[in-house]
Amino acid sequence: MGPPLKVHELIRAIRSVKTQNEEREVIQRECADIRSSFRDEDTLYRGRSVAKLLYMHMLGYPAHFGQMECLKLIASPRYTDKRIGYLGAMMLLDERQDAHLLITNSMKRDLEHNSPLIQGLALCTLACLGSTEMCRDLAGEVERLLRTSSSHVKKKAVLCAVHIVRKVPELVEMFIPVSEELLGEKRHGVLYGAVLLVTEICQRHPEASKRIRKLFPLLLQKLRQIMSEYSPEHAVSGVTDPFLQVRLLRLMRILGQNDESICDAMGDLLAQVSTCTETQSNAGNAVLYETVLTIVDTKSASGLRVLAVNILGRFLLSNDKNIRYVALTSLQRLVQTDNAAVQRHRATIVECLRQTDTSVNRKALELCFALVNEANIRVMMKELQRFLQTCQPELREQCASGIFLSAERFSPSKRWHIDTIMETLITAGESVRDDAVSHLIHLIRGASELHAYIVQKLYKAVREDIGQQPLVQVASWCIGEYGELLLLGSCEEEEPLQVTEDEVLDVLEGILQSHISTPSTRAYTLTAIMKLSTRFKQNVDRIRRVVSIYGSCHDVELQQRAVEYNALFKKYDHMRAAILEKMPVEEKSAAGDILGEERRTPVESLPQSQPSSVQTLSQVTDLLGLLEESPVNVITPVPAADLNVTQNLPNGGSLLDLLDETPVPALPPLVVYNNHGLNVEFSFLRPPTNPALLVITSCATNSSDSDMTDFQMQAAVPKSVQLQLQAPSGSIVKASGIGAVTQCIRVLNPQKVPLKMRLRFSFSQSGNSAQEICEIGNFPVGTWQ
């Protein structure tokens, strides 16, 4: 049998095959020969076998059976064997395998060897796979080698020291003295490793920073020297050793944090680097970028910070997408502290929105929203809405949400605010957030002087296009609320629009019948048609027919609405006008007042799956700390029932349950609170159609000598119980028992568990704020049957 294939012969054989199967056959045949060679302890060709095995490992084939042969090669006295052995160890071993600990003794002997080449092999391997145990055992040898005169060994030893400091932080102090000495090195390779080691030490051992700060003048001198002396040996694209410059700037940044004296000392140098560095290459841009970070992260003078922003502004003009992305990311960090300086580059930032790269668009979009303020809100919204028309689908929702939030914060007028959101809904279509519809409805409700203008504009929009579902939902709601204003045609802002009741109903019926209308849109529209039955007197029969048709709709939500609305035409026709009256303007909720917040919360601060009140009520739960033995539902007053959303109750309960006119005999009343002049009494009613439902009427009176203003009541019940508070009859409880504040509470207890309720009353009296809390557990016998 002849000698085994050489490495280059194996490579040639593998490359000459034509199929994957042929390659596997060559590999399997060669692996069999290598295994046989290992079993025969063939020391002559062991290095060649391991070298071939490493090549096969690079191709993705298993080579773990060569691990022990690597250890034998490392123990060999020959340099060629050690080189292959150490290379194999770095490729085939790691900390997860106990075999790597077996080379510790061999590595220790090699670190003490007279040959710098062999010492370098051991240092490279230790820096690559050294575990905590190995680093502890060999740290002393590495520290000793750092003091040798051979630059070849020093370069490798200092990088090995960095690995040791990262792996075993408690050994930091061992390397502090020698690292200070190494900062005086003239050879770039050693100096680079020394700066890296000192940086690592300062980050992991803050006390060491005090000692290193004394060497700060030396660091400045080194950086000036590198910048002023062009060295072809170390130059990259015309910049002398940009890698070392970046490392020095990074170390100076760490030392300059929270140290004004160092910031002042390096101010001139940073300005020099910013103005003298070549900007036509990536090497120069890397140095400039590190300079910007150093200026930003330290207490640099305002002039330097403006200079840093201007450098990033130049980056924005680069043709390289990566450089633009880096510039936008950095400007985001500066926009809060140096807004005026960043604003000067607003036009360039907006221009980045027109780039074709999605990552650049996303960063530019985030930065644009950070730059919006009262002065530029109109201009920026035009640019952002133009971007919304052409942006990638994955950015459309982010852009629309940002426009909503910016308009909420900096709106110059209600009309502009509403126009902006409506235009955004038209452009964004289905990409808007779920709460955008309710947000716009809330705005419209509060702009009573613009109702004629809004309903006319929305009517025109849906008459032309019913494809944008969020906009159609808002339009349906507005037409249902303010449809009579369409008939008047009295809108000064727009050209008068002459429409008839039939034309309005035709548009709404078209939405109901359209195949592109979502179930939610149909629900809004059916409710709008129902509300028009009290606004349009000539088409009540037509509306009744439409409602009755959807009483057999396959959509359960729409069917339930239709059935309930049909009942309003029949059994409860005398109550229809009152139930379908216009929604009142929403006031501050009880929770909002307690927390010092308004109920109206910016859309972007809320989770998409929750209405605005849910977040606020969870905060109230934390304040009250109610019913600690079980989870609780905390309820605050809400406006009268809005028929835009059917008030479905668990277990099939609905609005009709609450309208039933044949209740069971009333339960005896209960005084739940009587203290400090405030008397609160509950009276009870149970509708026979839903035994799990209890309707409570709260009556609050005031026997003291002064009025109680801003009166509010909150309630909490166990999690298994559903509870809803209706809006109170007023917020002032008159003194001396004159008048009362009443409030309806509806409790649904499907499991009929013993009811516990915690109440919280808040009010102001004689200029002082007061809060009273009581717990109720003695509800009348027979409350649940």
For 229-253, write each residue's pLDDT tens digit.
888 888 888 888 999 999 999 999 9
Cα→Cα distances 64→67, 126, 537, 625, Å: 6, 20, 88, 61
Nearest-10 Cα torsion for 232, 235, 238, 242: -160
Res 207: pLDDT: 82
Question: Measured between alpha carbons, how far is 159 from 123 in angstroms, rounded to an integer?
Answer: 9
Token pair listed for 244: 């070392």
Res 769: pLDDT: 85
Which residue did the predictor score with more confidence, 96 or 54? 54
The strand ranges marked E within 300-403 are: none
Question: Measured between alpha carbons, how far is 415 from 502 in angstroms, rounded to an integer?
Answer: 29
Question: Measured between alpha carbons, how far is 642 from 585 in angstroms, rounded to an integer?
Answer: 12
Within 13 A of 409's CA, how many CA atoms are on the CB side?
19
Three-state DSSP class for residue 236: strand
Residue with tokens 């008159």: 734
H or E stretch at 282: helix 282-297
Cα→Cα distances 448→276, 445, 451, 454, 775, Å: 61, 7, 5, 10, 41
H or E stretch at 694: strand 693-702
- b/e 725-743 (16+ beta carbons within 10 angstroms → b): bbebeebebebeeebbbeb
Res 165: pLDDT: 94
Token pair listed for 138: 């060999």
pLDDT digits 0-9 by tens, 571-619:
888 888 888 888 776 554 333 332 233 333 333 332 333 333 333 333 3
Q: What is the DSSP string of 166-215?
A: HH-GGGHHHHHHHHHHHTT--SHHHHHHHHHHHHHHHHH-HHHHHHHHTT
Within 13 A of 210's CA, how many CA atoms are on the CB side?
2
Q: What is the DSSP string of 651-664?
A: GG--HHHHH-S-PP
Tell me the percentage of the chain whose pLDDT exceeds 90: 35
Nearest-10 Cα torsion for 231, 177, 217, 194: 30
Which residue did the predictor score with more confidence, 646 or 43? 43
Question: Measured between alpha carbons, how far is 97 from 105 in angstroms, rounded to an integer?
Answer: 17
Q: Interhelix angle for 358-371 vs 377-390, to 10°?
A: 160
Question: Measured between alpha carbons, how far is 517 from 510 in angstroms, rounded to an integer?
Answer: 10
Is 95's pLDDT higher than 80?
no
Phi (first) and psi of residue 743, to 5 degrees: -155, 140
- b/e 651-664 (16+ beta carbons within 10 angstroms → b): eebbbbbbbeeeee
- Of the ranges 112-121, 413-422, 584-593, the best mean pLDDT one: 112-121
Residue 106's nearest CA partner among 87, 88, 124, 86 is 86
Res 369: pLDDT: 93
Q: Identify the bridge partners of residue 435 per DSSP, sorted by sequence position.
A: none
Q: Predicted confidence band at 665 (pLDDT cuts at 50, 70, 90)?
A: low
Three-state DSSP class for residue 743: strand
CB 256 within 8 A of CB 266: yes
Question: Measured between alpha carbons, how far is 374 from 52 in angstroms, rounded to an integer?
Answer: 70
Q: Predicted confidence band at 399 (pLDDT cuts at 50, 70, 90)?
A: very high
Question: Measured between alpha carbons, how far is 498 from 489 in angstroms, rounded to an integer?
Answer: 6
Residue with tokens 């080698």: 145
- Of the ranges 19-33, 420-434, 663-677, 740-754, the best mean pLDDT one: 19-33
pLDDT digits 0-9 by tens, 172-210:
999 999 999 999 888 899 999 999 999 999 988 888 888
pLDDT digits 0-9 by tens, 511-534:
999 988 889 899 999 999 999 998
Give the domain 650-776 fold: Immunoglobulin-like (2.60.40)
Q: Predicted confidence band at 51 (pLDDT cuts at 50, 70, 90)?
A: very high
| The total number of residues written for the chain in this structure | 785
Residue 31's nearest CA partner among 8, 12, 5 is 5
